[in-house]
Structure 1
């Protein structure tokens, strides 16, 4: 066998690769090696206000910083703040250095913290969002606040979903209520002898109206929808008593020995309803939390069919 016999035939040699195909391969390689396009980053938002913080989380926004995170969880409950949210310190005296280090795109506050706006505005643009304005119905204000927060954080569609889901949830809960529910007296303890009793103009009242429940308190209320009264002012009111936690330290023990408290009809009859913490100055997330817990408690309470 000669060496020429080991060479491939001329007709079997590979054809040259066309230039256009080489260019296509090169482009494909470059696209594969290039980083994937990033989604538009959500704006970095900080807030001192728990109502706004809960609304942000409900809209799918992770706040960069919130004041008094532990107290938020104790008083507001849900939605829980993400672990990555920085604690900015006291609501009335936030850690401005820490806040500045977060480089927020915007800081949201309520009118309660308006005195801090000049200092906060040196860090980022400040938006002041009111709620519970005297003389206005509460529920439309809750919707307006939700939409305004959604606009500021570019989550308009999420805001509309939150409104629709909350109203649908309350409508469904209304259908679950027992046929007969007595008037409700919703209170929160300030100390062993004084409570906030919630009525016209507040979150709890707005939820009760949508659930078709009657509020036993017809006294005057402040801009936040409550009156601060002594326990003696509740005497004689025939109503289902509802206590919203948390109790101040030592109050539960003191109430066990309080004749004034033990004479309350709901306490005397063993029918007292106690709900976990719900932020009484909150927005739609707190409204849904209050409705969920209240209806569940009323379903379990003894009642006449």
Structure 2
């Protein structure tokens, strides 16, 4: 399940695609029976309640979203925002691609009973509005986003969020979380979680400073098989994972072209020879619908000669860390850096 970046002539254009996970088909039972309004379980959510009163939120397209009360019945169409809603101690009534979320995101578990509303980027609108939401949260990258245009035809408020910004990915992650907290009346909860994140980052930086690493250089990447060839996607400058690593005192040495939202690049096996002695770090989650890209890498003589591969510094993060997530996924990223490199 990958976010794919394509560069168009003259403009870095972002296209969000899904890879053989989920469906836009929804059963009649799911589409016709709205779920109750659940809340997340767990001790930390036991005392979390929503503020009361009217809500006015400016979303990432500059649109004003007005609610008589904080949103309680929320449908969410992208995984980062699903995670954020759960972290805020509110369970959405509808989510896009539940199966994919459960595969790729472990920071917040989605409770049973949530309606699957189809694909990310191509939701089933009948399922979305049969869930009887008082707010739909979607992810966009332009005002003419086709999904947003369809959603706006219905008499339900829509909060449009831009999930990432390579000019400041950590702050953007926090801003998205805070905006959702405002819409759901859970700003106090958001402040507490962001304090936890800042503490985790400070502690991780201290742990990394105490580690005796042969180099602080690194490149984090994922990849897939494209037409029989290995396509490698480095997380460069402006990526959330890359910037978290640098905040910990590491140096992200990928210097190739990246997109304006996620800081993602593209290269092949030969391109990785440019990173010198850097650690090579990668996702530990295996796409259930994809090929084993790492088995393919092992067959490459060029890959086997890379310094990190020869020195056993080609290392995997734990499974289930969503590299495009919110504060809780970001804390998992911090823990992974420390455990993998300094543990």
Q: List aligned pairs for 1:35-46, cutoff 5 A.
A: 43-46=72-75
Shift of 1:123: 5.3
Provide the C-alpha distance between the structure 1 equivalents of 2:95 and 2:191, rounded to a whole number of angstroms.
24
Correspondence for 1:230 among 268, 273, 280: 268
1:124 aligns with 2:152: no
Higher helix share: 1
Provide the C-alpha distance between the structure 2 equivalents of 1:271 and 1:144, rounded to a whole number of angstroms.
34
Unaligned runs of 5+ in 1: 1-38, 301-305
Shift of 1:42: 6.2
1:184 aligns with 2:218: yes
Q: Which residue of 1 aligns with 2:187?
A: 156
Q: Which residue of 2 aligns with 1:284?
A: 327
1:254 aligns with 2:296: yes
Contact conserved, 1:69 with 1:87, CA < 8 A, in 2? yes
Correspondence for 2:78 among 46, 49, 66: 49
CA RMSD of superposed structures (Å): 2.1
Larger mean CA deviation between 49-58 and 76-85 belongs to 76-85
Provide the C-alpha distance between the structure 1 equivalents of 2:223 and 2:284, rounded to a whole number of angstroms.
8
1:98 aligns with 2:127: yes
Provide the C-alpha distance between the structure 2 equivalents of 1:241 and 1:280, rounded to a whole number of angstroms.
16
1:78 aligns with 2:107: yes
Provide the C-alpha distance between the structure 2 equivalents of 1:48 and 1:252, rounded to a whole number of angstroms.
30
Shift of 1:195: 0.9
Shift of 1:190: 2.2
Q: Which residue of 2 aligns with 1:13?
A: none
Correspondence for 2:249 among 212, 217, 225: 212
Provide the C-alpha distance between the structure 1 equivalents of 2:295 and 2:224, rounded to a whole number of angstroms.
14
CA deviation vs aligned residue, 1:41-67 (integer Å, no higher than 9, x gap)? 961011111111111111111011111
Which structure is larger by alpha-carbon Rg, 1 or 2? Answer: 1
Q: Paired residues, what number?
A: 261
TM-score calculated relative to the size of structure 1: 0.79
CA deviation vs aligned residue, 1:238-297 (integer Å, no higher than 9, x gap)? 201101133442323323322122122222222321112432322222211111112111
Provide the C-alpha distance between the structure 2 equivalents of 1:54 and 1:130, rounded to a whole number of angstroms.
15
Unaligned runs of 5+ in 2: 1-48, 51-69
Provide the C-alpha distance between the structure 1 equivalents of 2:192 and 2:256, rounded to a whole number of angstroms.
35
Larger mean CA deviation between 178-187 and 98-107 belongs to 178-187
SS in 2 for 1:230: coil
SS in 2 for 1:107: strand
Q: Which residue of 1 aligns with 2:12?
A: none
Tell me: CA distance 1:42–1:133, structure 2 relative to 1, closer, same or farther (3 Å).
closer
CA deviation vs aligned residue, 1:183-216 (integer Å, no higher than 9, x gap)? 1111101225221101111101221122111112
